[in-house]
Structure 1
Amino acid sequence: MADSENMMSPGERTRRGVLGDAHVDKAQAATTEFDAPFQDLISTSAWEKVWSRPQWNRRERSMVTIALLAALGHEEELAMHIRATANTGASESDIREALLHVAIYAGVPAANTAIRIAKHTLSEMNAAKAGDQP
């Protein structure tokens, strides 16, 4: 495992640390010649050049990302980043606070949709966690 970890780019290490190996493995398995340049772009720009910067920790980046995705109405990415909070340290309370900011600064309809998605995603996460326990 250490050898494969050493072979990863810094962006891929960060992406795996935030989104989890299963998500990244699934995305990589679905990559085609058509979208390979896009996958490389996001791995380098988002995960290596932004998410790997030391100025904010993963929890802070997670909250900002959730707020931005909610404000912009990117529902699928929002759910993905809510699931990623299991790895970033952002809590349900952090998510709620970010979405309250969305309501004030980006509008109640955007926050309403985001809260619906967050409730559904968090419910799935909690159910999965409960299923993992004996």
Structure 2
Amino acid sequence: MRETSAPSARYHQGMATRRAVLGDDHVDRAEAAASDFDRPFQELITEGAWGTVWSRPGLTKRERSIVTIALLAALGQDEEVAMHVRATANTGATRDDICEALLHVAIYAGVPAANHAIKIAKKTYEQMDAESAA
């Protein structure tokens, strides 16, 4: 299942961006958990999402973070919402930014989607605060 070619320059850029946004601990866990079955997927998202989209110069990491959380909330991608809320510690997106983005979700994607994402964000921020206090 695994291709044997060397990682591309876009993959290396993606890995650097992925680590900058999600943090080394998260990426190291994902890499350690990868199997022959899902390693091609991990490489695809590293190259495509992180090496192409997140590495473009048109938006800041803060702006991309806000857009990503809004999109994930609208799509009901709960685990991804939590992961990207946690990543705001690295992107510069503030809690106010995320609140505003989720208000947009309520209007453009539906109140239930925003309501659920707000619950996830609140819980994630509470965990982050507890970790910071420890």
1:17 correspondence with 2:20 = yes
In the TM superposition, residue 46 of structure 1 has moved relative to its aligned partner by: 0.1
- Of 87, 91, 98, the residue aligned with 2:90 is 87
Alignment of 1:39 with 2:37, yes or no, is: no
Q: What CA deviation, in whole Å up to 9, does each residue of 1:14-59 have, x standing for no partner?
A: 0000000000000000000000110000000000000000000000
> 2:126 aligned to 75, 100, 123, which one?
123
- Identity percentage over the alignment? 66
Gaps of 5+ in 1: 1-7
Alpha-carbon separation, structure 2, partners of 1:91 and 1:18 = 14
Query: Is residue 116 of structure 2 the alignment partner of residue 113 of structure 1?
Result: yes
Q: Quick one: distance in 2 between partners of 1:126 and 1:71? A: 25
Which 5+ residue runs of structure 2 have no aligned equivalent?
1-10
Distance, in Å, in 1 between the alignment partners of 2:51 and 2:121 is: 26
CA distance in 2, matches of 1:23, 1:114: 21
Is 2:42 the partner of 1:28? no
Q: Supply the distance in 2 between the matched residues of 1:47 and 1:40 (Cα, whole angstroms).
A: 10
Q: Report the residue type matching 2:40 in the other structure.
A: P
> How high is the TM-score relative to the length of structure 2?
0.91
C-alpha RMSD over aligned residues: 0.8
Is structure 2 residue 53 aligned with structure 1 residue 50? yes
User: SS of the residue aligned with 1:9?
Assistant: helix
Length, aligned pairs only:
124
Asked whether 1:104 is paired with 2:107, we answer yes
SS at match of 1:119: helix
Q: TM-score, normalised by structure 1?
A: 0.91
Give the deviation of 1:130 after TM superposition. 1.3
CA-CA distance at 1:94 after TM superposition? 0.5
